[in-house]
Structure 1
Amino acid sequence: MDHHHHHNGHHHDHANLKGRNLLISIVLNVVITVAQVIGGVISGSLALLSDALHNFSDVLSLIISYVATKLAKRKASIDRTFGYKRAEILAAFINASTLVVVAIFLMIEAVKRLMEPQEIGSNLVIIMSFIGIVANGLSVLLLKKDSSSNMNMKSAYLHLLTDMMASIAVLIGGILMKFFQIYWVDAVLTMVIGMYLVYMGYDLLKESTKVLMLFTPKSIEVQEIVNSICELEAVKNVHHVHIWQLNEEEIHMEAHIDFMEDIKLSEFDVILEQIEEHVYHRHGINHVNIQPEYDKCDSKNVIVQD
């Protein structure tokens, strides 16, 4: 019957800042990718080429993240009543998926190279990996702040952080190849990078999937909310509850409430305000939609399969 909204301030200014940081990171990663592809081909280093491939996936993921931040700012309309608020979650899902796919591809290539080791131009590998560390390090610093509170930015941040680590691994490999002629280390490092990417990407993939599937947020206890609403004197029963996360800022709740008496609409408004304040301050739910009922014959289960 009613939607109540608690909005965050300075959202648009922050989104503009996120967009700028993403753009700078895109430019840096295009430069690294081109440099590493050239360096990898000339030197024959699989680790450097795999790092370049990962950097290319970074460029794509950063572009997706950038487009998502722009889309998320668009207003709702008649045919898009939620606007594009889910764009950033979708971007996080796509980026996490590509992170895992790229990692598996790298590990397959590393196994092939282990079986057929090749001599590698280590000087070029060292130079290119150092460039990768510096550029990715700058990008990581730019996105670090937003990565803790935004799934989309976390996905972009993870791509860059793992790539910086990959560049460090490639640098170590380059030094070992130059001074000790241990060429198999190139493939071993590629394998380690791949496994780490799978580990990081899977967690984000799982979290973004939960949001897209409308699962109840991990921090929310549905039964606890139902019990607290039932403590209100006028409330007889709370049922047909749905709680889901729309995006990073919004958690929605809808429920049917059975009342003890056939109360007036004005009395319901007072109770509704109490419920809205309670679920917002205790559980962070900022959009509430309640259907009031009196003596209605329907399922009184907390969770009802629609």
Structure 2
Amino acid sequence: MGHNHSHDHSHSHIHSDLKGRNLLISIVLNILITVSQVIGGLISGSLSLLSDALHNFSDVISLVVSYIANRLAKKEASIHRTFGYKRAEILAAFVNASALIVVAILLINAAIHRFSDPKHIQSGLVIWLSVFGIIMNGLSVLLLKKDAKSNLNMKSAYLHLLTDMMASVAVLIGGIFMELYQVFWVDSVLTLVIALYLIYMGYDLLKDSTKMLMLFTPDNIPIHKIVEEVNQFESIQNVHHVHVWQLNEREIHFEAHIDFNEDIAISKFDEVLHEIEALLLEKYDINHVNIQPEFSKDDNKDMIVQD
């Protein structure tokens, strides 16, 4: 069965190279932030600065995973990998979201312990290093913003950087408060706020990537309605054994068995198939259709069948 899909390969190659380059620059920037904040956090005694460093370290890991996934996604399909590495970016998004939540739990635990044992903090160092973090993360956010709108993996990397920039802003405000008023419990409060925000941002991303990995039907695909519409075709008696899944952000697959009213020629089936493909693409953005034609076949006619 054929598909009519046109792609501007030269444009997508240039865009993908730019995307990879931007990720690589962001990785270098975040390594600089992490190293400076770890040293500064240990010297100043600031848990919020160390938590920001830990968050940045998770950024480095997630960006490296995203970079590798971005490179793998461009590899051609083969006999042993018929889909190529198209799902690498979804897997990367899942790993990144999981890392956000794990880091958040570690931060909450550390902040709770610090509440019972507050320490004096060199707030001047906290202020300068948080400003440095804001500038570096701000540059990274700008580099990835465009690609984050159309790619789940890039969105996960973008969210990591955006939350870390906001965390650095919070640490800066906390540093100013500590410098002016000597209220060092602010450090633990900020750590808790950063951690809770990490969980909030990571949850949706974890949920979306899990749905794709589990091949769940995309939320915007109404299977019952699609089956009703395809059943309206004059030559079709029944649509059953339906599967709909999202391979990655660009590909939604539809698979079904279709009973025909009569024993039609292959050329006639191709005409009907073309009409079904057009319907699914125009109304539901389903761009890969696989239909198994049947006539008087004795099999399960339920719409959804557990394989």
Give the structure 1 partner of residue 290 of structure 2: 289
Give the structure 2 partner of residue 89 of structure 1: 90
Contact map agreement 1:5 1:287 (CA 8 A) in 2:
no
Q: Give the superposition deviation at 1:12.
A: 2.3
Q: Give the superposition deviation at 1:13.
A: 2.1
1:231 & 1:23 partners in 2: Cα distance?
Answer: 51
For residues 56-101 of structure 1, the C-alpha deviation after alignment (integer angstroms, 9 at most, x for no partner) is: 1100100000000000000000000000000000000000000000
Give the structure 1 partner of residue 3 of structure 2: 4
Write the letter of the residue equivalent to 2:3.
Answer: H
Q: Give the superposition deviation at 1:173.
A: 0.6
1:87 & 1:124 partners in 2: Cα distance?
Answer: 40
Three-state SS of the structure 2 residue aligned to 1:118 is coil
1:5 & 1:17 partners in 2: Cα distance?
Answer: 27
Give the structure 2 partner of residue 63 of structure 1: 64
2:80 & 2:6 partners in 1: Cα distance?
Answer: 22
Q: Give the superposition deviation at 1:3.
A: 4.7
Q: Give the superposition deviation at 1:8.
A: 4.1
Give the structure 2 partner of residue 202 of structure 1: 203
Three-state SS of the structure 2 residue aligned to 1:67 is helix
Give the structure 2 partner of residue 241 of structure 1: 242
Write the letter of the residue equivalent to 2:158.
Answer: Y
Distance 1:7-1:203 versus aligned 2 partners, 3 A rule:
farther
1:21 & 1:209 partners in 2: Cα distance?
Answer: 26
1:258 & 1:180 partners in 2: Cα distance?
Answer: 77
2:40 & 2:152 partners in 1: Cα distance?
Answer: 33
Q: Give the superposition deviation at 1:7.
A: 4.6
Give the structure 2 partner of residue 165 of structure 1: 166
- Any residues of structure 2 matched to 1:193-232 within 5 Å, and which? 193-232=194-233
Three-state SS of the structure 1 residue aligned to 2:242 is strand
1:15 & 1:114 partners in 2: Cα distance?
Answer: 46
1:5 & 1:11 partners in 2: Cα distance?
Answer: 18
For residues 150-201 of structure 1, the C-alpha deviation after alignment (integer angstroms, 9 at most, x for no partner) is: 1100110111011001100100110000000000000000000000000000
Contact map agreement 1:3 1:287 (CA 8 A) in 2:
no
- Any residues of structure 2 matched to 1:93-112 within 5 Å, and which? 93-112=94-113
1:158 & 1:7 partners in 2: Cα distance?
Answer: 31
Three-state SS of the structure 2 residue aligned to 1:81 is coil
Write the letter of the residue equivalent to 2:5.
Answer: H
Give the structure 2 partner of residue 183 of structure 1: 184
Runs of 5+ unmatched residues, structure 1: none
1:49 & 1:94 partners in 2: Cα distance?
Answer: 22
1:250 aligns with 2:251: yes
2:13 & 2:80 partners in 1: Cα distance?
Answer: 23
Distance 1:223-1:7 versus aligned 2 partners, 3 A rule:
farther
TM-score by length of 2: 0.98
Give the structure 2 partner of residue 263 of structure 1: 264
2:80 & 2:4 partners in 1: Cα distance?
Answer: 21
Q: Give the superposition deviation at 1:17.
A: 1.2
Three-state SS of the structure 2 residue aligned to 1:253 is strand
1:5 & 1:70 partners in 2: Cα distance?
Answer: 26
Q: Give the superposition deviation at 1:149.
A: 1.3
For residues 197-247 of structure 1, the C-alpha deviation after alignment (integer angstroms, 9 at most, x for no partner) is: 000001100000000000001111011111111111100000000000000
What stretches of structure 1 move > 6 A for 4+ residues in a row?
none
1:274 aligns with 2:279: no
Write the letter of the residue equivalent to 2:295.
Answer: Y
Q: Give the superposition deviation at 1:293.
A: 0.1
Q: Which has the higher contact order (CA 8 A, sep 6+)?
A: 1
1:31 aligns with 2:32: yes
Runs of 5+ unmatched residues, structure 2: none
Distance 1:106-1:7 versus aligned 2 partners, 3 A rule:
farther
For residues 114-157 of structure 1, the C-alpha deviation after alignment (integer angstroms, 9 at most, x for no partner) is: 11000000000000000000000110111111112111001101
Q: Identity of paired residues, percent?
A: 66
Write the letter of the residue equivalent to 1:25.
Answer: S
Write the letter of the residue equivalent to 2:16.
Answer: A
The answer to which of 4-13 and 49-58 deviates more is 4-13
Aligned length: 305
1:304 & 1:7 partners in 2: Cα distance?
Answer: 33
- Any residues of structure 2 matched to 1:16-55 within 5 Å, and which? 16-55=17-56
